[in-house]
A and B are shown apart, each in its own frame.
Chain A
Amino acid sequence: MPVSITHSQMIYDALKASDVRLISALPETWLVHLIRMAEDDADMTLVRLAKEEEGVGISMGAHLAGVKSAMLMQNHGFLAAINGIVSGAQLFRIPLLMLISHRGTFGERDPWQTEGGGVTLSTLNALGIPYDTLDAPDQVLSKIQKAQTLANAALRPVALLLGRDLMWEDA
């Protein structure tokens, strides 16, 4: 499958450089390499979820215990996690770093991804969650570090959308 290993490695390295020590994830195609990298890293705690909202609770606990974490999920997983984000991370001012694969955008071939792609940005806006898109490889490290910096300063969730041009090689 043409998911970019090179760019996945850049994202993973940026998370490591940001001192992320715990990743919760639910697999989807664009995330397979990232999840394998976390799996193969003895210094990373990878928590495989049954549903994405659990990851909000896990990251809350990790933050309260002084450990930096990140969530890896598809945008449909983000939609599934919203109550936890609002009544957990936002209510209790938790700096949640969410990496969300932005499926259903221009170029999407899977019909089942298209509806979620159309509502992801407006949902992030409605929730007041600051976000940016990772599309260019040379901005991956900088944007991940800046996103984490804002999350920690604001004590609020932030989102980085993983774009098709970064994740998919024949986009």
Chain B
Amino acid sequence: MRRLAALDAVYADLDGRAVVTIMGAVAAELQSLGHQPNFFYLQHAMGLASSLGLGIALARPDQSVVVFDGDGSLLMNLGGLTTLARYRPRNLVHVVFDNGSLLSVGGFPTATSTGSDLAQIAKAAGVPRTLTVDTVDTFAEAFREACHADELTTLVAKVEPIGPSGYVTDLSLLENRFQFQRWLIGHGAS
């Protein structure tokens, strides 16, 4: 599965949800499908996208939140999975694009390429719903189920280590940050 195809398959489902992505390929690919004011790209602060999503989900229990995480990022904050599981916000869907690689910095393999299983780690951390998918159709179906499950889900999507040719876009970090905040504070329950 190509990550861009997976994002495209669920793009329409992101309407009205607060979407937080990690840096690099995920941010650039989601933007390439069309930036929206409800998308926030956490460029840098690696590992903290899931924590930031948790902060939104706890601050605004009425607001649906989606985090697009990655294997390299999540491996930097595995302890954060236990915090996610501890508070298990029902309004949070935690997607992990797992390409087994630190793609944007040379493609060096991560520990998921040598057997570490992020869905099993999330399950053992206490996340109530966890699953791994490896096709676009099963991803889209699992994502929609997670959005309506009313229970914290960590959905690991196995994707190919292929990304865009560049990562810098014409959307400045701060423009994105203030636009997203304005949308989030102004946006009612969804």
Q: Which residues of A contact B (CB under 8 A)?
A: 21-22, 45, 47-51, 53-67, 69, 83-84, 87-88, 91-93
Contacts and interface: CB of A to CB of B under 8 A. Distances in A.
A88 B83 CA distance: 19
B79 A51 contact: yes
Given A65-B56, A88-B45, 16 more contacts: A47-B58, A48-B83, A49-B83, A50-B80, A50-B82, A53-B51, A54-B79, A57-B50, A57-B54, A58-B52, A61-B53, A62-B56, A65-B184, A65-B185, A66-B185, A87-B45
Contacts, number: 121
Using C-beta atoms within 8 Å of the partner chain, give the interface range for chain B.
35 or more
B79 A88 contact: no
A87 B77 contact: no
B174 A45 contact: no
Contacts of A54: 48, 51, 77, 79-80, 83
Nearest to B183: A64
Contact of A56 (B20, B45, B82): B45
A93 B172 CA distance: 13
A61 B177 CA distance: 11
B60 interface: yes
A50 B56 contact: no
B86 interface: yes
Contacts of A50: 79-80, 82-83
A62 B58 contact: yes
B177 A59 contact: no
B87 interface: yes
Interface string B21-61: 00000000000000000001011111111111111111110
A57 B184 contact: no
B68 interface: no
B132 to A, nearest CB: 23
B180 A64 contact: yes
Centre residue among A22, A51, A56, A59 by max chain B CB count within 10 A: A51
Contacts of B52: 57-58, 60-61, 64, 88
A22 B55 contact: yes
Contacts of B20: 61
A68 to B, nearest CB: 10
Contacts of B51: 53-58, 61
Nearest to A58: B55
Contacts of B185: 65-66
B173 interface: yes
A67 B52 CA distance: 13
A51 B47 CA distance: 12
A83 B58 CA distance: 23
Contacts of B86: 48
